């Protein structure tokens, strides 16, 4: 193939480069199926996807725990294929922490330094610094079983960082923690990333984590990359229907492009609606998926002009979140979801029939795959 690997990639200097990475376990189906990705130095990138989408396998290949069946991984211009995991300089934090049960927190953190033959005086200083960085100086002599889940996670983080690795890999590190602790650790991990500036790859199936923490999100689906973009772009302009449905709440309408009326598409049973052309990469004809986020739909009043796309919605159920209300209903037999922020207006009741709508620029057209 005469395909130029650099074509169409980001112009910024590449630190970690994945090129057509393939992994198969049974020789027939590919768990990772041709993933190519460039990661910049200092970037915080999240691998997001459902279980079995290949995100963890990709991470394990970067760490060196799984061999590639095709493609290559380069770190700072050097091919990693020949180096064993312990020859790479990559810190890994595992989902279940993987702290050594027979060593104290401090010994766990010193372990990579001793294995890498850091000078004796350096080892103690660095380990203590790392413990201080995660705020656990008082717990240096505790064994993992004597620490809470959150504390264990901090020790694992310190252990993964203490030897100044080139990369930090986190494999669903907060999966075992409860919600409040998870948010606290998200903030903590972001703070540490800011302080150290280490290139970080974060694997998760939790879209909130991906949205709040990352510089960019790489969405995995079926062993392939569905989209790689900053969080807001992934949310507002998903590359395909899978990404749009996986991240956030969504309304998808199947719609036909009318070649004779630019700026309009036709949703069967609902009718023609306007779309802003600069937002949607509309093909000149055929069928597209039209995404409208529930929070973009609002109850129309007399003041709303006729530039809004309007339809009638029957409210079947209301879900109160405290800060907002999700209305679940139908419009001409098609399911429709609308999220209203703040105190819900009086007319929003179960069984009510309301005139709702959205502005053309709030819809996003996705080519059918």
Partner 1 sequence: MPLLFAIIATAFLIAPLFIVVPMSFSTSTSFAFPPEGYWLGYYRAYFASEDWLIPTANSIVIAFCAMMVTMLLVIPAAFGFVRHRFAGKAAINLLFLLPLAVPHVVAALGYYGLLSRLGIVGTIFGLIIAETALSMPVSFLVVCAALKGYDRNLERAAMSAGAGPLRTFFWVTLPVLRPGILVAALFAFLQTFNESVVALFIGGRDASTLPKKMFESIRLETDPVIAVVSTLLTGIVVLAFVVPVLFRRKPAYVV
Partner 2 sequence: MTATTITDTPRHRPLESRSAAAWLLLTPGSLFLILLFVVPIGYVLLLSFTEPKVSLDHFRRIFTTPLYTSVMINTFRTSLIVTLSCLLLGYPLAYVIARRNDAVSLIFLTLVGLSFWTGFLVRTYAWLVILGNRGPVAATFGVLGLEPPQLLFTSFSSTLGMVNILLPYMVFALLSVMKKIDPNHMRAAASLGAPPTAAFRTVFLPQSLPGVVNGSVLVFTVCLGFYVTPILLGTPRDMMISQLINQQIEELLAWGFAAALAVVLLAVTSFLMILYNRFVGLDRLWG
Instruction: Verify binding: residue 160, partner 1, rule CB under 8 A.
Output: yes
Instruction: Verify binding: residue 165, partner 2, rule CB under 8 A.
Output: no
Instruction: Verify binding: residue 222, partner 2, rule CB under 8 A.
Output: no
Instruction: Verify binding: residue 176, partner 1, rule CB under 8 A.
Output: no
Instruction: Verify binding: residue 194, partner 1, rule CB under 8 A.
Output: no
Distances (CA, A) of 155 to 103, 105, 129: 12, 6, 12
Any idea what DSSP says for residue 302? T
Q: Say how far apart CA 328 and CA 117 lie, in whole Å.
A: 61
Instruction: Verify binding: residue 173, partner 1, rule CB under 8 A.
Output: no
Q: Say how far apart CA 3 and CA 1 lie, in whole Å.
A: 5
Judged by CB under 8 A, the stretch of 84-92, 244-252, 266-274, 279-287 that binds partner 1 is 84-92
Instruction: Verify binding: residue 36, partner 2, rule CB under 8 A.
Output: no
Instruction: Verify binding: residue 91, partner 1, rule CB under 8 A.
Output: yes
Distances (CA, A) of 235 to 238, 240, 247, 264, 363: 6, 11, 7, 23, 12
In whole angstroms, the minimum distance from the beta carbon of 142 to partner 1 comes to 12
In whole angstroms, the minimum distance from the beta carbon of 161 to partner 2 comes to 24
- Phi, psi (5° rounding) for residue 215? -75, -45
Q: Which of 41, 142, 143, 298 binds partner 1 (CB under 8 A)?
A: 143
Beta strands at 90-93 and 264-267: parallel, antiparallel or unpaired: unpaired
Judged by CB under 8 A, the stretch of 58-66, 191-199, 277-285, 305-313 that binds partner 1 is 58-66
Closest to 329 (Cα-Cα) out of 321, 340, 318: 318
Judged by CB under 8 A, the stretch of 62-70, 116-124, 131-139, 304-312 that binds partner 2 is 62-70
- From residue 85 to residue 124, what is the string marking binding to partner 2 with x (rule CB under 8 A)? x---------------------------------------
3-state secondary structure of 8: coil
In whole angstroms, the minimum distance from the beta carbon of 94 to partner 2 comes to 16
Element (DSSP H or E) covering residue 334:
strand 334-341
3-state secondary structure of 164: coil
3-state secondary structure of 326: strand
Axis crossing angle, helix 149-161 with helix 105-115, rounded to the nearest 10? 20
Residue 70 binds: one of partner 1, partner 2, none (C-beta under 5 to 8 A by kind): partner 2
In whole angstroms, the minimum distance from the beta carbon of 24 to partner 2 comes to 6
- From residue 100 to residue 119, what is the string marking binding to partner 1 with x (rule CB under 8 A)? xxx--------xx--xx---
In whole angstroms, the minimum distance from the beta carbon of 90 to partner 1 comes to 6
Q: Say how far apart CA 262 and CA 265 lie, in whole Å.
A: 8
- Phi, psi (5° rounding) for residue 144? -50, -40
Q: How many CB atoms lie within 10 A of CB 199?
A: 23
Judged by CB under 8 A, the stretch of 18-26, 101-109, 237-245, 297-305 that binds partner 2 is 18-26
- Phi, psi (5° rounding) for residue 281? -85, 80
| Contacts to partner 1 by CB under 8 A | 63-65, 84-86, 88, 90-92, 94-96, 98-102, 111-112, 115-116, 143, 145, 156, 159-160, 163
| Contacts to partner 2 by CB under 8 A | 20, 22, 24, 27-30, 33-34, 64-70, 81-82, 84-85
């Amino acid at each position: 193939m005469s395909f130029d690997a650099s074509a169409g990639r980001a112009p910024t200097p590449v630190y970690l480069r994945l090129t057509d990475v393939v992994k198969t376990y049974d020789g027939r189906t590919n768990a990772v199926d041709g993933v190519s990705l460039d990661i910049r130095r200092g970037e915080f990138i999240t691998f997001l996807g459902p279980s079995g989408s290949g995100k963890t396998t990709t991470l394990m290949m970067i760490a060196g725990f799984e061999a590639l069946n095709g493609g290559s991984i380069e770190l700072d211009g050097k091919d990693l294929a020949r180096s064993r995991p312990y020859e790479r300089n990559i810190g890994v934090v595992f989902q279940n922490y993987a702290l050594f049960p027979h060593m104290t927190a401090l010994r766990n953190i010193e372990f990579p330094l001793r294995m890498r033959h850091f000078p004796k005086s350096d080892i103690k200083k660095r380990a203590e610094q790392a413990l201080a960085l995660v705020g656990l100086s008082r717990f240096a002599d505790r064994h993992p079983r004597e620490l809470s889940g959150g504390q264990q996670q901090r020790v694992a983080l310190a252990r993964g960082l203490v030897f100044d690795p080139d990369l930090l890999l986190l494999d669903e590190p907060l999966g075992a923690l409860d919600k409040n602790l998870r948010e606290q650790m998200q903030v903590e991990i972001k703070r540490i990333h800011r302080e150290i500036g280490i290139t970080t790859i974060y694997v998760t199936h939790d879209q909130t984590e991906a949205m709040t923490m990352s510089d960019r999100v790489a969405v995995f689906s079926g062993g392939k990359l569905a989209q790689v973009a900053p969080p807001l772009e992934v949310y507002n302009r998903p590359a395909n229907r899978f990404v749009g449905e996986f991240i956030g709440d969504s309304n998808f309408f199947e719609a036909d492009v009318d070649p004779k009326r630019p700026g309009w598409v036709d949703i069967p049973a609902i009718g023609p609606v306007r779309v802003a052309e600069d937002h949607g990469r509309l093909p000149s004809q055929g069928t597209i998926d039209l995404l409208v986020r529930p929070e973009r739909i609002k109850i129309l009043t007399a003041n709303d002009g006729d530039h809004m796309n309007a339809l009638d919605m029957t409210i079947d159920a209301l879900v109160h979140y405290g800060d907002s209300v999700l209305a679940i209903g139908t419009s001409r037999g098609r399911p429709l979801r609308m999220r209203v922020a703040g105190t819900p207006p009086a007319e929003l009741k179960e069984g009510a029939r309301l005139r709702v709508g959205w502005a053309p620029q709030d819809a996003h057209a996705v080519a059918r795959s």
